[in-house]
Amino acid sequence: MIRETKNIQVGAGVAIEEKEAPAFWVGRVPVYGRAILSPMAGYSDLPYRTLCRQFGSAMSYSEFVPVEGLLGKKQNRYWSFLDYEEGERPMVFQIFGNDARKILAAAQRIEEWGPDIIDINMGCSTRRVSGRGAGVGMMPQPELVAETFRLLTHHLEVPVTGKIRLGWDDLRNYIEIGRILEDNGASLVAMHGRTKEQKYNGEANWEAIGELKAALSIPVIGNGDVVEVADIERMMVATGCDGVMIGRGGMGNPWIFSYRDKETVTDAELVRVMRDHGQRMADYYGDEHGARLFRKHLKQYVGERESFVEQVDKLVRLKTMGAVLACLDAIIDETS
């Protein structure tokens, strides 16, 4: 099964690769850049990943996929979550589960689809995932974590990584889990500086990210509360981490990967990028489905810009991407 679609130009990543040394390595895979779009369900799909890569995001992480959705004989909707374009490399497939053997079986299958890296999600805090011992639900089970990574690194050719949190509320065992990952062959650890119970509330604990980095010899990526350009450097300095993963701060804001604050983006630039993103959605998802999925992105792009309140109210009611793109073209003409 072909896991790629048409090629695009992802200029920033290619140019950096040709001219500069890697920022860090994931096993044998070089990474050119420090700012990385975080894997986010419903947001880090192929259209938005490729746009962010064009702006400078250094890696592509797929949306996370349950291993059960990858083990059947028939193709299902989860398989499409792992579509990618060649220009996205290094491409990371992220999966989750609660059974080491099933995780291995799924990883062996998708390794054939051409990822550069396979990542195990041990950070998702939603009840439907963590409540069954997957996502951050793996962190209270160090034996399961050790078995999973021991099997993966023994049987796979591509590097294996893990994304974790501080832990499960009072059980903040991120140092223990990080060392288990490294001891069992992991090539990188990414950590969101919050516990399972915190979800996305309160402040992210950057000090803990620094402690994890100091405890490990493999690269560590920090995640949490990076919402503007200055936060990227602040996290790097505060933690010593090798890269910075940007989640909610990157929603509707690909400019952050070019180290440009969104406040400096003109209305005309904003609409042109929205139009570019919309075209990618239309090309990938089709006319009606693309329009439905694009609505949440429209609201993220516009945010509190009063000049676009009326336009967004109109755009989110449109039922086809053709109509959305035509409306955006009209707005571009007005703002040019």
Strand pairing category for 160-164 and 117-122: parallel
Peptide linkage before 22 cis (omega within 30 of 0): no
DSSP 25: E
Q: Which residue has the tokens 């009209």?
A: 330
Q: Which of 52, 124, 241, 327 is catalytic?
A: 124
Q: Which residues of 250-278 are buried (b: 16+ CB within 10 A; e: fewer)?
A: bbbbbbbbeebebeebeeeebbbbbbebb
Q: Are 163 and 190 in contact (CB under 8 A)?
A: yes
Alpha helix (H) residue ranges in the chain:
11-19, 46-55, 77-80, 100-111, 127-130, 142-155, 174-183, 206-215, 229-239, 267-285, 287-302, 309-315, 321-335
Burial-class residue 322 by CB neighbours within 10 Å (0-12, 13-18, 19+).
middle
Query: What length does the chain have?
Result: 336
Tokens standing for residue 293: 């999925």
DSSP calls for 255-279: GGGGT--GGG--HHHHHHHHHHHHH
Catalytic residue check, 52: no
Q: Are 39 and 62 in contact (CB under 8 A)?
A: yes
The SS3 assignment for 92 reads strand
Task: Measure the CA–CA gap between 101 and 109, rounded to whole angstroms.
Answer: 12
Rg over CA atoms, the chain: 20
**Catalytic residues, which ones?**
124
